Amino acid sequence: MAGGNVNVESRDEIEGLPNLLVCDLDGVVYLEDEPIPGAADAIEAIRDGGWRVIFATNNATRTGADLVRALADRAGVVAEEHDIVSAAMAVVSLIERGPVFIVGESGLVDTVHQAGFEITTNPESAATVALGLDRALSYEKLASATKAILGGASFIAANHDPSFPTPSGLVPGGGAIAAALATASGIQPIYAGKPEVAMRDLIIDRAGVVDQVWVVGDRPDADVALAQEAGWSSALVLSGVIASPDAIPPQHRPDVVLGSIAELPTVLGL
């Protein structure tokens, strides 16, 4: 699997292997329920150019099937479950044993359950605490999760993301909840989502053998960092959490900065 820039000569050398686009969802394909203009056409053009597209999201509130529907309903993008990797799936890949106490929404509960793990609401019987964004978070749930972690349960969190973008601005993300629990328990979680290795391994497993890889995302510390750590190329879009190139931290500079994914096919030579 090679990173690097678009290069026709190197592509010809590895004739027959597809290129791979790892495509973030929130802030790239859609913002909450609203599509990013041109996203569906761009993805179609990239697929028509022979690229494989894998959607990789740090959103842990939805199952793979939910995300297939969200792509279709919100952005008019056709995808299959096999095309999608989520932080919920990455969390599951790190769970060694149940029962699992979940701080998260139904998509995380369903993903853990579908993987065959027992789920518990009793902190005393929990072997693992799995955490994602939870928009029905209560103090009681935080207290139970703290108790489970202090009792020896493994602590796995979907992502570091402090916030996520909505049409009305940034709202707290799963990383903010993980930070609350880490502060309360004094124990840091193992993170599963982008840019962590659990998520990268899932993407590589799904993609199979490919030539060059690009990541497109809106979050430097998740999407650009994923690309940097894997040796892949990256495009940062300004349609999500970051509105200006000035807000990109120097340690997570992408290969290109784009207004939106609509500009990506041209960058890829398509």
Q: For residue 161, state whether it binds Mg ion (rule: CB under 5 A).
A: no
- Closer to Mg ion by Cβ: residue 27 or 64: 27
Closest CA to 28 of 85, 71, 62: 71
Residue from 66, 105, 134, 218 that binds Mg ion (CB under 5 A)? Answer: 218
- Contact between 26 and Mg ion by CB under 5 A: the answer reads yes
| 134 catalytic per annotation | no
Q: Annotated catalytic, 246?
A: no
Q: Report yes or no: 30 and 75 within 8 Å, Cβ to Cβ.
A: yes
Angular region, 116: left φ>0, alpha ψ -120 to 50, beta rest: left
Write down the least CB distance from residue 24 to Mg ion, Å: 4
Q: Which stretch binds Mg ion (CB under 5 A): 94-102, 139-147, 194-202, 211-219?
A: 211-219
- Minimum CB distance to Mg ion, residue 265 (Å): 19
Candidates 18, 19, 23, 24; binder of Mg ion (CB under 5 A) is 24
Q: Report if residue 83 touches Mg ion, rule: CB under 5 A.
A: no
Q: Closest CB to Mg ion among 95 and 213? A: 213
Using CA atoms, how far residue 225 sits from 29, 33, 55, 172, 219, in Å, is 19, 26, 16, 20, 9
CB of 245 to Mg ion, least distance (A): 17
| Complex with Mg ion: residue 24 or 196, whichever CB lies closer | 24
Q: Which is nearer to Mg ion, 41 or 221 (CB)?
A: 221
How many chain residues interact with Mg ion (CB under 5 A)? 4
Query: Partners of 23 in the beta sheet?
Result: 55, 216
- Catalytic hit among 12, 24, 110, 134: 24
CB of 262 to Mg ion, least distance (A): 16
Q: Which of 26, 66, 218, 255 is catalytic?
A: 26
d(CA 188, CA 149): 10
Are 260 and 239 spatial neighbours (Cβ–Cβ below 8 Å)?
A: yes
Minimum CB separation of residue 240 from Mg ion in Å reads: 5
Q: Which stretch binds Mg ion (CB under 5 A): 6-14, 16-24, 125-133, 179-187?
A: 16-24
- Give the CA count within 13 Å in the CB-facing half-sphere of 253: 4
Q: Which of 19, 20, 22, 27 binds Mg ion (CB under 5 A)?
A: 27
Stretch that binds Mg ion, among 79-87, 195-203, 210-218, 250-258 (CB under 5 A): 210-218
Give all strands of the β-sheet with 213-217 in edge-to-edge order. 84-86, 52-57, 20-23, 213-217, 233-237, 256-258
Q: List active site positions.
A: 24, 26
Site residues, Mg ion (CB under 5 A): 24, 26-27, 218
